[in-house]
Structure 1
Amino acid sequence: MRASSQIGCSMKVCGVEISSNDVNLCLLSLTDELFELPDCRSRRLTLKDINSTRELRYFQQTFAKLMQDYQVDRVVIRQRPMKGKFAGGAVGFKLEAAIELISDLDVIIMSTTDIKESLKRNPMQIAYADTDLKAYQEVAFNTAYAYLMKDKYAAQEG
């Protein structure tokens, strides 16, 4: 059963968009069908030296600590194509793997098709500009919102 259909239940997710060596983040919680954008000390994490194992481990530890501190239930990463015009780069896939390998962290990859379908079925009730989020967080926000709403008005079969 979805968290939003149970009174008193809540879910906090972290939407993630990976762009080059940056990870853009957006925390979003849903409690009793009410959304909240919790304050977060980091909106973007950057891998400074892409060739340093130490830096990659530091990134992974920083991300894990952030998710632990904010008691995130699930991390939702926007899927990137592996080939073609809009393919993700090697560094991005390295960051994605570092996040996925964090123990005790529930991570899922959500396809852009699923995100678009969820947003189409469940349009935003306010303008993104009214959220007080940074422009670079919009994709991460849409990913988190689409995940939380994905089962709300599921596509009708038949």
Structure 2
Amino acid sequence: MKTLGVEISGSEALLCLLTKEDDVFDIRDIRQRRFTLANQGLELEDMRKFQFDVAKLVEDYGVDSIAIRQRPHKGKFAGSAAGFKMEAALQLIPKVDVKLLTGTEVKEQLKANPLPVDYEDTGLKKFQEQAFINAYVYIMRKTYRKED
């Protein structure tokens, strides 16, 4: 299973590709670790380019699923309009399962299945941490919840 963890921050999508085969996790190196949505997605062509670029990465690496941390619609930590547009663009990528993970779901899964390695030992950049956690949580969720 190849899962692309995504963390949306402002007008950037931060990425981490995590695979699990035979109960072994592997962090895959990818050509681009972040995509920026130009002009806050105000122009149609900017949205199309963003979606095309991510979809091409998904296709090239044979990604099965995308895991995105869902952001609240209102309140102190509410997502921006550009962030919600990016979420929608990712959800519309064909032939890939996209799951929005709630904050509660992430916390519960991490409590039940803590990360098997210290993040500092992964070799990933600090900005990729939440994307890594999203991918890990999604994989663990699929492993223990067969109905998804």
With the shorter chain as reference, the TM-score category is over 0.9
User: Normalized against structure 2, the TM-score is what?
Assistant: 0.92
1:96 maps to amino acid: E
Aligned residues: CA RMSD? 1.3
Which position in structure 1 is the counterpart of 2:7?
Answer: 17
Deviation at 1:104, TM superposition (A): 2.0
Which of 106, 118, 135 does residue 115 from structure 1 map onto?
Answer: 106
Kindly name which structure, 1 or 2, has the bigger radius of gyration based on alpha carbons: 1
Q: Take 2:51 and 2:141, find their aligned partners in 1: how far apart are those partners?
A: 28
Q: Take 1:35 and 1:121, find their aligned partners in 2: how far apart are those partners?
A: 17
- The range that moved more, 13-22 or 45-54, is 45-54
Where is the helix percentage greater, Structure 1 or Structure 2? 2
Deviation at 1:55, TM superposition (A): 1.2
- In structure 2, list runs of 5 or more residues that go unmatched: none
Deviation at 1:130, TM superposition (A): 0.6
* Equivalences for residues 1-158 of structure 1 within 5 A: 11-50=1-40, 51-150=42-141
Identical pairs, percent: 50
- Structure 1, residues 92-146: CA drift from partner, whole Å, max 9, x if none? 0011111111222221111111111111111112110110101011001001101
Mark the CA change 1:153 to 1:65 in structure 2 (over 3 Å): closer, same or farther: closer
Deviation at 1:45, TM superposition (A): 0.4
Mark the CA change 1:70 to 1:153 in structure 2 (over 3 Å): closer, same or farther: closer
Q: Take 2:144 and 2:94, find their aligned partners in 1: how far apart are those partners?
A: 32
2:137 maps to amino acid: A
Work out the number of aligned pairs and report it: 144
Deviation at 1:36, TM superposition (A): 0.2
2:48 maps to amino acid: R
Mark the CA change 1:33 to 1:90 in structure 2 (over 3 Å): closer, same or farther: same
- The range that moved more, 130-139 or 48-57, is 48-57
**Which structure ranks higher in relative contact order (CA pairs < 8 Å, sequence separation ≥ 6)?**
2
- In structure 1, list runs of 5 or more residues that go unmatched: 1-10
